[in-house]
Protein backbone atom coordinates (compact mmCIF):
# COMPACT_ATOMS: atom_id res chain seq x y z
CA UNK A 1 0.00 0.00 0.00
CA UNK A 2 1.36 3.41 -0.87
CA UNK A 3 1.70 6.02 1.83
CA UNK A 4 -0.98 8.11 0.17
CA UNK A 5 -3.39 5.20 0.15
CA UNK A 6 -2.59 4.59 3.77
CA UNK A 7 -3.27 8.21 4.61
CA UNK A 8 -6.53 8.15 2.74
CA UNK A 9 -7.56 4.99 4.54
CA UNK A 10 -6.91 6.22 8.07
CA UNK A 11 -8.35 9.63 7.31
CA UNK A 12 -11.50 8.10 5.91
CA UNK A 13 -11.80 5.72 8.81
CA UNK A 14 -11.43 8.48 11.41
CA UNK A 15 -13.98 10.64 9.66
CA UNK A 16 -16.49 7.85 9.74
CA UNK A 17 -15.61 6.63 13.22
CA UNK A 18 -15.86 10.01 14.90
CA UNK A 19 -19.57 10.25 14.22
CA UNK A 20 -22.50 8.97 16.22
CA UNK A 21 -21.59 8.23 19.84
CA UNK A 22 -17.91 8.96 19.29
CA UNK A 23 -18.56 12.45 18.00
CA UNK A 24 -18.79 13.45 21.64
CA UNK A 25 -15.32 12.10 22.30
CA UNK A 26 -13.63 14.48 19.87
CA UNK A 27 -11.17 16.71 21.69
CA UNK A 28 -11.56 14.90 25.03
CA UNK A 29 -8.78 13.31 27.04
CA UNK A 30 -5.08 14.02 26.77
CA UNK A 31 -2.93 15.99 29.11
CA UNK A 32 -4.83 17.63 31.91
CA UNK A 33 -8.06 16.17 30.53
CA UNK A 34 -7.76 12.57 31.58
CA UNK A 35 -10.90 12.96 33.67
CA UNK A 36 -13.01 13.42 30.57
CA UNK A 37 -15.28 10.78 29.06
CA UNK A 38 -13.58 7.68 30.49
CA UNK A 39 -16.19 5.15 29.49
CA UNK A 40 -16.55 6.49 26.01
CA UNK A 41 -12.79 6.62 25.50
CA UNK A 42 -12.47 3.09 26.79
CA UNK A 43 -15.00 2.01 24.20
CA UNK A 44 -13.06 4.06 21.64
CA UNK A 45 -9.89 2.05 22.40
CA UNK A 46 -11.77 -1.13 21.52
CA UNK A 47 -13.22 0.42 18.41
CA UNK A 48 -9.75 1.47 17.32
CA UNK A 49 -8.43 -1.99 18.14
CA UNK A 50 -11.14 -3.81 16.25
CA UNK A 51 -10.34 -1.78 13.16
CA UNK A 52 -6.68 -2.77 13.45
CA UNK A 53 -5.19 0.63 14.24
CA UNK A 54 -3.33 -0.42 17.38
CA UNK A 55 0.09 -2.03 17.10
CA UNK A 56 1.12 -0.71 13.71
CA UNK A 57 4.26 -2.56 12.61
CA UNK A 58 3.73 -5.25 15.25
CA UNK A 59 3.60 -8.88 14.03
CA UNK A 60 0.18 -9.81 12.67
CA UNK A 61 0.02 -12.87 14.93
CA UNK A 62 -0.42 -10.46 17.85
CA UNK A 63 -3.06 -8.40 16.09
CA UNK A 64 -0.63 -5.88 14.65
CA UNK A 65 -0.43 -4.85 11.04
CA UNK A 66 2.51 -4.21 8.77
CA UNK A 67 3.26 -0.50 8.60
CA UNK A 68 6.39 1.39 7.68
CA UNK A 69 7.86 4.09 9.85
CA UNK A 70 6.40 6.68 7.51
CA UNK A 71 2.95 5.12 7.85
CA UNK A 72 3.16 5.15 11.61
CA UNK A 73 3.95 8.84 11.43
CA UNK A 74 1.02 9.34 9.08
CA UNK A 75 -1.27 7.54 11.49
CA UNK A 76 -0.30 9.85 14.35
CA UNK A 77 -0.60 12.91 12.14
CA UNK A 78 -4.06 12.04 10.97
CA UNK A 79 -5.11 11.05 14.46
CA UNK A 80 -4.06 14.41 15.84
CA UNK A 81 -5.48 16.30 12.89
CA UNK A 82 -8.88 14.70 13.38
CA UNK A 83 -8.91 15.74 17.03
CA UNK A 84 -9.54 12.10 17.96
CA UNK A 85 -9.75 11.49 21.72
CA UNK A 86 -6.64 11.29 23.92
CA UNK A 87 -5.57 7.66 24.07
CA UNK A 88 -6.15 5.73 27.27
CA UNK A 89 -3.95 3.04 25.80
CA UNK A 90 -0.87 5.07 25.00
CA UNK A 91 1.27 3.47 27.70
CA UNK A 92 0.02 0.04 26.72
CA UNK A 93 0.89 0.53 23.11
CA UNK A 94 3.95 2.72 23.27
CA UNK A 95 5.72 1.50 26.39
CA UNK A 96 4.67 -1.99 27.37
CA UNK A 97 4.07 -3.37 23.89
CA UNK A 98 7.55 -2.61 22.54
CA UNK A 99 9.05 -3.83 25.84
CA UNK A 100 7.32 -7.20 25.50
CA UNK A 101 8.24 -7.46 21.84
CA UNK A 102 11.88 -6.91 22.80
CA UNK A 103 12.15 -8.75 26.10
CA UNK A 104 9.01 -10.87 26.55
CA UNK A 105 8.69 -14.67 26.32
CA UNK A 106 6.59 -16.12 23.48
CA UNK A 107 3.89 -16.91 26.06
CA UNK A 108 3.88 -13.36 27.40
CA UNK A 109 3.60 -11.94 23.92
CA UNK A 110 0.75 -14.30 23.04
CA UNK A 111 -0.99 -13.57 26.33
CA UNK A 112 -0.74 -9.77 26.47
CA UNK A 113 -0.12 -8.27 23.05
CA UNK A 114 -3.42 -9.29 21.39
CA UNK A 115 -5.30 -7.71 24.31
CA UNK A 116 -3.42 -4.48 23.69
CA UNK A 117 -4.02 -4.46 19.96
CA UNK A 118 -7.72 -5.16 20.53
CA UNK A 119 -7.91 -2.21 22.90
CA UNK A 120 -9.03 -4.50 25.71
CA UNK A 121 -6.31 -3.96 28.32
CA UNK A 122 -5.19 -0.62 29.69
CA UNK A 123 -1.77 -0.54 31.32
CA UNK A 124 -0.08 1.83 33.73
CA UNK A 125 3.56 2.36 34.56
CA UNK A 126 4.71 1.64 38.11
CA UNK A 127 8.22 3.02 38.29
CA UNK A 128 8.33 6.09 40.50
CA UNK A 129 8.23 5.87 44.28
CA UNK A 130 8.34 8.47 47.01
CA UNK A 131 12.09 7.87 47.32
CA UNK A 132 12.81 7.07 43.70
CA UNK A 133 12.05 9.65 41.04
CA UNK A 134 14.87 10.91 38.88
CA UNK A 135 17.03 8.31 40.58
CA UNK A 136 14.97 5.31 39.65
CA UNK A 137 17.58 2.89 40.92
CA UNK A 138 16.39 3.81 44.40
CA UNK A 139 13.29 1.61 43.98
CA UNK A 140 12.33 -0.07 47.29
CA UNK A 141 9.07 -1.86 46.53
CA UNK A 142 9.81 -5.50 47.40
CA UNK A 143 8.74 -8.66 45.62
CA UNK A 144 9.31 -11.96 47.40
CA UNK A 145 9.04 -15.20 45.53
CA UNK A 146 6.60 -17.73 46.95
CA UNK A 147 6.20 -20.78 44.73
CA UNK A 148 4.93 -19.66 41.36
CA UNK A 149 4.11 -16.15 42.58
CA UNK A 150 5.82 -13.01 43.68
CA UNK A 151 4.32 -11.26 46.68
CA UNK A 152 4.68 -7.50 46.32
CA UNK A 153 4.81 -4.91 49.09
CA UNK A 154 5.55 -1.25 48.71
CA UNK A 155 4.32 2.01 47.29
CA UNK A 156 4.38 3.62 43.88
CA UNK A 157 3.51 7.23 43.23
CA UNK A 158 2.56 9.50 40.35
CA UNK A 159 1.13 6.48 38.56
CA UNK A 160 -0.85 7.92 35.66
CA UNK A 161 -4.16 6.26 34.85
CA UNK A 162 -3.73 3.66 37.64
CA UNK A 163 -7.38 4.25 38.54
CA UNK A 164 -8.43 3.08 35.10
CA UNK A 165 -5.80 0.49 34.32
CA UNK A 166 -6.20 -3.28 34.23
CA UNK A 167 -2.51 -4.01 34.62
CA UNK A 168 0.59 -2.28 35.85
CA UNK A 169 4.20 -2.91 34.85
CA UNK A 170 6.09 -2.61 38.08
CA UNK A 171 9.75 -2.24 38.81
CA UNK A 172 10.53 -3.89 42.15
CA UNK A 173 13.37 -5.27 44.19
CA UNK A 174 13.51 -9.04 44.21
CA UNK A 175 16.89 -9.38 45.88
CA UNK A 176 16.44 -8.03 49.42
CA UNK A 177 20.11 -7.22 50.03
CA UNK A 178 20.62 -5.47 46.71
CA UNK A 179 21.12 -1.79 46.01
CA UNK A 180 20.95 0.42 42.97
CA UNK A 181 20.54 -1.16 39.54
CA UNK A 182 21.14 -4.74 40.61
CA UNK A 183 18.46 -6.97 42.09
CA UNK A 184 15.48 -5.31 40.40
CA UNK A 185 12.82 -7.21 38.47
CA UNK A 186 10.12 -6.18 36.03
CA UNK A 187 6.74 -7.65 36.92
CA UNK A 188 3.34 -7.50 35.24
CA UNK A 189 0.76 -7.04 37.96
CA UNK A 190 -3.03 -7.21 37.65
CA UNK A 191 -4.65 -4.17 39.26
CA UNK A 192 -7.90 -5.91 40.05
CA UNK A 193 -6.87 -7.85 43.17
CA UNK A 194 -7.16 -7.44 46.93
CA UNK A 195 -3.58 -6.31 47.62
CA UNK A 196 -3.73 -3.26 45.33
CA UNK A 197 -5.05 0.09 46.51
CA UNK A 198 -5.19 3.11 44.23
CA UNK A 199 -5.54 6.54 45.72
CA UNK A 200 -5.94 9.46 43.32
CA UNK A 201 -3.76 12.52 43.83
CA UNK A 202 -5.19 15.90 42.97
CA UNK A 203 -2.88 17.78 40.63
CA UNK A 204 -2.37 21.52 40.42
CA UNK A 205 -4.96 21.54 37.66
CA UNK A 206 -7.53 20.46 40.23
CA UNK A 207 -8.05 17.21 38.34
CA UNK A 208 -6.26 13.96 38.84
CA UNK A 209 -4.73 11.63 36.37
CA UNK A 210 -2.00 10.25 38.56
CA UNK A 211 -2.26 8.24 41.74
CA UNK A 212 -0.58 6.62 44.66
CA UNK A 213 -0.57 2.85 44.33
CA UNK A 214 -0.10 0.68 47.40
CA UNK A 215 0.90 -2.95 47.10
CA UNK A 216 0.08 -4.91 50.22
CA UNK A 217 0.97 -8.51 49.51
CA UNK A 218 -0.33 -8.18 45.99
CA UNK A 219 0.65 -11.04 43.73
CA UNK A 220 2.17 -11.43 40.29
CA UNK A 221 2.77 -14.75 38.58
CA UNK A 222 6.42 -15.67 38.16
CA UNK A 223 5.69 -16.33 34.48
CA UNK A 224 4.72 -12.67 34.24
CA UNK A 225 8.20 -11.45 35.04
CA UNK A 226 9.75 -9.81 31.96
CA UNK A 227 13.44 -10.60 31.58
CA UNK A 228 15.46 -12.54 34.11
CA UNK A 229 15.11 -12.08 37.83
CA UNK A 230 17.37 -9.25 38.91
CA UNK A 231 17.60 -7.83 35.39
CA UNK A 232 14.64 -5.52 35.60
CA UNK A 233 16.79 -2.43 35.21
CA UNK A 234 17.76 -3.42 31.70
CA UNK A 235 14.13 -3.99 30.77
CA UNK A 236 12.99 -0.75 32.39
CA UNK A 237 15.61 1.24 30.54
CA UNK A 238 14.48 -0.44 27.35
CA UNK A 239 10.97 0.86 28.04
CA UNK A 240 12.22 4.38 28.56
CA UNK A 241 13.94 4.22 25.18
CA UNK A 242 10.55 3.47 23.59
CA UNK A 243 8.87 6.49 25.10
CA UNK A 244 7.71 8.73 22.29
CA UNK A 245 9.34 7.80 18.98
CA UNK A 246 7.15 8.02 15.92
CA UNK A 247 4.38 9.73 17.83
CA UNK A 248 6.51 12.88 18.09
CA UNK A 249 5.52 14.03 14.63
CA UNK A 250 1.86 13.46 15.31
CA UNK A 251 2.20 15.21 18.62
CA UNK A 252 3.44 18.23 16.72
CA UNK A 253 0.23 18.45 14.75
CA UNK A 254 -1.47 18.81 18.11
CA UNK A 255 1.05 21.48 19.07
CA UNK A 256 0.38 23.29 15.82
CA UNK A 257 -3.34 23.34 16.55
CA UNK A 258 -2.64 24.87 19.94
CA UNK A 259 -0.24 27.44 18.52
CA UNK A 260 -2.75 28.38 15.82
CA UNK A 261 -5.39 28.83 18.50
CA UNK A 262 -3.14 31.11 20.54
CA UNK A 263 -2.21 33.17 17.47
CA UNK A 264 -5.84 33.41 16.39
CA UNK A 265 -6.70 34.60 19.86
CA UNK A 266 -3.91 37.19 19.71
CA UNK A 267 -5.34 38.51 16.46
CA UNK A 268 -8.87 38.69 17.80
CA UNK A 269 -8.06 40.43 21.09
CA UNK A 270 -5.33 42.75 19.84
CA UNK A 271 -2.42 41.05 21.60
CA UNK A 272 -0.78 40.55 18.20
CA UNK A 273 -0.24 44.31 18.02
CA UNK A 274 1.86 44.17 21.17
CA UNK A 275 5.42 43.86 19.74
CA UNK A 276 6.85 41.86 22.62
CA UNK A 277 4.03 39.32 22.48
CA UNK A 278 4.16 39.12 18.72
CA UNK A 279 7.86 38.33 18.81
CA UNK A 280 7.24 35.54 21.30
CA UNK A 281 4.46 34.17 19.12
CA UNK A 282 6.65 34.16 16.04
CA UNK A 283 9.42 32.53 18.06
CA UNK A 284 6.95 29.86 19.14
CA UNK A 285 6.11 29.24 15.50
CA UNK A 286 9.81 29.04 14.67
CA UNK A 287 10.48 26.72 17.59
CA UNK A 288 7.83 24.35 16.32
CA UNK A 289 9.33 24.40 12.83
CA UNK A 290 12.71 23.58 14.34
CA UNK A 291 11.19 20.64 16.20
CA UNK A 292 9.45 19.44 13.07
CA UNK A 293 12.63 19.46 11.03
CA UNK A 294 14.54 17.89 13.90
CA UNK A 295 12.02 15.08 14.26
CA UNK A 296 12.02 14.35 10.55
CA UNK A 297 15.79 14.34 10.57
CA UNK A 298 16.02 12.04 13.56
CA UNK A 299 13.40 9.66 12.26
CA UNK A 300 15.08 9.54 8.89
CA UNK A 301 18.18 8.16 10.54
CA UNK A 302 16.56 6.28 13.38
CA UNK A 303 15.14 3.19 11.73
CA UNK A 304 12.76 1.92 14.37
CA UNK A 305 11.91 4.57 16.91
CA UNK A 306 14.41 6.89 18.50
CA UNK A 307 17.47 5.96 20.48
CA UNK A 308 17.60 7.12 24.07
CA UNK A 309 19.88 9.99 23.19
CA UNK A 310 17.75 11.25 20.32
CA UNK A 311 14.69 10.91 22.49
CA UNK A 312 16.42 13.10 25.10
CA UNK A 313 17.02 15.87 22.59
CA UNK A 314 13.46 15.82 21.37
CA UNK A 315 12.06 15.52 24.91
CA UNK A 316 13.96 18.61 26.01
CA UNK A 317 12.85 20.48 22.89
CA UNK A 318 9.17 19.78 23.07
CA UNK A 319 8.73 19.90 26.82
CA UNK A 320 10.39 23.30 27.05
CA UNK A 321 8.58 24.58 23.97
CA UNK A 322 5.17 23.50 25.16
CA UNK A 323 5.72 24.97 28.61
CA UNK A 324 6.60 28.32 27.04
CA UNK A 325 3.56 28.20 24.81
CA UNK A 326 1.43 27.59 27.89
CA UNK A 327 2.81 30.76 29.43
CA UNK A 328 2.25 32.60 26.19
CA UNK A 329 -1.33 31.38 25.98
CA UNK A 330 -2.28 33.05 29.25
CA UNK A 331 -0.20 36.16 28.54
CA UNK A 332 -2.07 36.60 25.26
CA UNK A 333 -5.31 36.21 27.17
CA UNK A 334 -4.28 38.86 29.67
CA UNK A 335 -6.21 39.46 32.86
CA UNK A 336 -9.12 37.50 31.41
CA UNK A 337 -7.09 34.34 32.02
CA UNK A 338 -7.41 34.89 35.76
CA UNK A 339 -11.03 33.82 35.97
CA UNK A 340 -12.06 30.16 35.91
CA UNK A 341 -15.37 28.43 35.49
CA UNK A 342 -17.29 27.04 38.47
CA UNK A 343 -15.47 24.28 40.36
CA UNK A 344 -12.11 25.45 39.05
CA UNK A 345 -13.09 24.51 35.54
CA UNK A 346 -10.23 25.55 33.25
CA UNK A 347 -10.34 26.64 29.66
CA UNK A 348 -7.81 25.48 27.08
CA UNK A 349 -5.27 28.22 27.73
CA UNK A 350 -5.43 27.71 31.48
CA UNK A 351 -5.17 23.93 31.23
CA UNK A 352 -2.25 24.31 28.89
CA UNK A 353 -0.52 26.81 31.14
CA UNK A 354 -0.88 24.67 34.23
CA UNK A 355 -0.45 21.19 32.86
CA UNK A 356 2.57 21.97 30.72
CA UNK A 357 4.59 22.42 33.92
CA UNK A 358 4.52 18.61 34.10
CA UNK A 359 6.13 18.19 30.68
CA UNK A 360 9.53 19.20 31.98
CA UNK A 361 9.25 16.85 34.98
CA UNK A 362 7.82 13.54 33.85
CA UNK A 363 9.47 11.07 31.54
CA UNK A 364 12.83 12.28 32.83
CA UNK A 365 13.02 15.93 33.89
CA UNK A 366 14.79 18.58 31.84
CA UNK A 367 17.74 18.34 34.19
CA UNK A 368 18.01 14.60 33.68
CA UNK A 369 17.80 15.00 29.90
CA UNK A 370 20.57 17.58 30.07
CA UNK A 371 22.75 15.19 32.06
CA UNK A 372 22.19 12.51 29.44
CA UNK A 373 23.00 14.83 26.53
CA UNK A 374 26.05 16.29 28.24
CA UNK A 375 27.49 12.92 29.17
CA UNK A 376 26.46 10.71 26.28
CA UNK A 377 26.40 13.11 23.33
CA UNK A 378 29.09 15.56 24.34
CA UNK A 379 31.16 13.15 26.41
CA UNK A 380 31.51 15.51 29.35
CA UNK A 381 32.77 13.80 32.51
CA UNK A 382 30.34 12.59 35.18
Partner 1 sequence: MTGSHADPRAVAETSHTEAAEDLAQIRASVAEVLDGQADLRRTHEVMVGEQGYDPLLHELLTAELGLLGLVVPEHLGGLGLDVAAATAVIEELGARLVPGALATSLTAILAARALGPNAEPLLARVVDEQLTLAVALAEDGAGWDLEQTATRATGAGDEWALTGTKTVVAGVEAARVVLVTARNPGGELGVYAVDLAADGVDVRTHMTLDQTRRLSTVHLRGAAASRVDAPGGEGARVLLDHVRAMLALESAAAARACLDLTVDYLKVREQFGRPIGSFQALKHRCADLAVAVAGARATADHLVTTLRTGAATRSHDAALAKLVCADTLMTVAAEAIQLHGGIGFTFEHHAHLFFKRGKSTQLLAGSPTAVRAEVAALAGL
| Enzyme catalytic residues | 243
Q: Could you say which of ligand FAD, partner 1, none residue 103 binds, taking C-beta under 5 to 8 angstroms by partner kind?
A: none
Q: Could you say which of partner 1, ligand FAD, none residue 354 binds, taking C-beta under 5 to 8 angstroms by partner kind?
A: none
Q: What is the DSSP string of 314-368?
A: HHHHHHHHHHHHHHHHHHHHGGGGG--BTTTB--HHHHHHHHHHHHTTTTS-HHH
For residue 363, give the nearest of 322, 332, 319 by alpha carbon: 319
What is the Cα–Cα distance from 313 to 374, expressed in whole angstroms? 11
Nearest distance, CB of residue 253 and partner 1, angstroms: 14
Nearest distance, CB of residue 357 and ligand FAD, angstroms: 8
Of 15 and 179, the one with the shorter C-beta distance to ligand FAD is: 179
Q: Tell me if 349 sits within 8 A of 337, measured CB to CB.
A: yes
Of 14 and 184, the one with the shorter C-beta distance to ligand FAD is: 184
Of 53 and 158, the one with the shorter C-beta distance to ligand FAD is: 158
Nearest distance, CB of residue 173 and ligand FAD, angstroms: 15
Nearest distance, CB of residue 81 and partner 1, angstroms: 16
Q: For the chain, how big is the Rg over CA atoms in Å? A: 21
For residue 256, give the nearest of 295, 210, 313, 220 by alpha carbon: 295
Nearest distance, CB of residue 252 and ligand FAD, angstroms: 20
Sign of CA dihedral 255, 76, 1, 43: negative
- Helix or strand run (H / E) with residue 28: none
Could you say which DSSP state residue 56 is in? B
3-state secondary structure of 185: strand
Strand partners of residue 173: 142, 184
Q: Could you say which of partner 1, ligand FAD, none residue 158 binds, taking C-beta under 5 to 8 angstroms by partner kind?
A: ligand FAD
For residue 328, give the nearest of 365, 276, 273, 289 by alpha carbon: 276
What is the Cα–Cα distance from 278 to 257, expressed in whole angstroms? 18
Cα 140 from chain centroid (whole Å): 24
Question: What are phi and psi for residue 131, nearest 5 degrees?
Answer: -100, 5
Of 65 and 357, the one with the shorter C-beta distance to ligand FAD is: 357
State the residues that interact with partner 1 by CB under 8 A: 3, 68-70, 73, 249, 263, 278-279, 281-283, 285-286, 289-291, 293-294, 296-297, 299-301, 313, 316-317, 367, 369-375, 377-382
Question: What are phi and psi for residue 3, nearest 5 degrees?
Answer: -60, -35
- Helix or strand run (H / E) with residue 292: helix 275-302
Q: Could you say which of ligand FAD, partner 1, none residue 134 binds, taking C-beta under 5 to 8 angstroms by partner kind?
A: ligand FAD
Q: Could you say which of ligand FAD, partner 1, none residue 133 binds, taking C-beta under 5 to 8 angstroms by partner kind?
A: ligand FAD
Could you say which DSSP state residue 382 is in? -
Q: Could you say which of ligand FAD, partner 1, none residue 304 binds, taking C-beta under 5 to 8 angstroms by partner kind?
A: none
Of 78 and 243, the one with the shorter C-beta distance to ligand FAD is: 243
The length of the chain in residues reads 382
Nearest distance, CB of residue 369 and partner 1, angstroms: 7
State the residues that interact with ligand FAD by CB under 6 A: 124-128, 133-134, 158-160, 210, 358, 361-362, 365, 367-368, 371
Of 171 and 328, the one with the shorter C-beta distance to ligand FAD is: 171
Cβ neighbours of residue 242 under 8 Å, at least 6 residues apart? 94, 95, 98, 99, 305
Q: Could you say which of ligand FAD, partner 1, none residue 125 binds, taking C-beta under 5 to 8 angstroms by partner kind?
A: ligand FAD
Nearest distance, CB of residue 194 and partner 1, angstroms: 45
Of 349 and 372, the one with the shorter C-beta distance to partner 1 is: 372
Amino acid sequence: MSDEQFRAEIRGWLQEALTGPFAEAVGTGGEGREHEAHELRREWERHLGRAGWIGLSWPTEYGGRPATLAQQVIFHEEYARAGAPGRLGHMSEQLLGPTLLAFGTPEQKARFLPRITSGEDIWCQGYSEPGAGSDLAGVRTRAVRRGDHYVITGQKVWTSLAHLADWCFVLCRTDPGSTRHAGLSYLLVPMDQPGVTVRPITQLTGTSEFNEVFFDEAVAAVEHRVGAEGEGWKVAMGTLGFERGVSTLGQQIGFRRRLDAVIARAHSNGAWLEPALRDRLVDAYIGLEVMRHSAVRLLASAGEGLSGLEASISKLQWATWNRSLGELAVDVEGAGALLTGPGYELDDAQTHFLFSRANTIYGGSNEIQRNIIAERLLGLPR
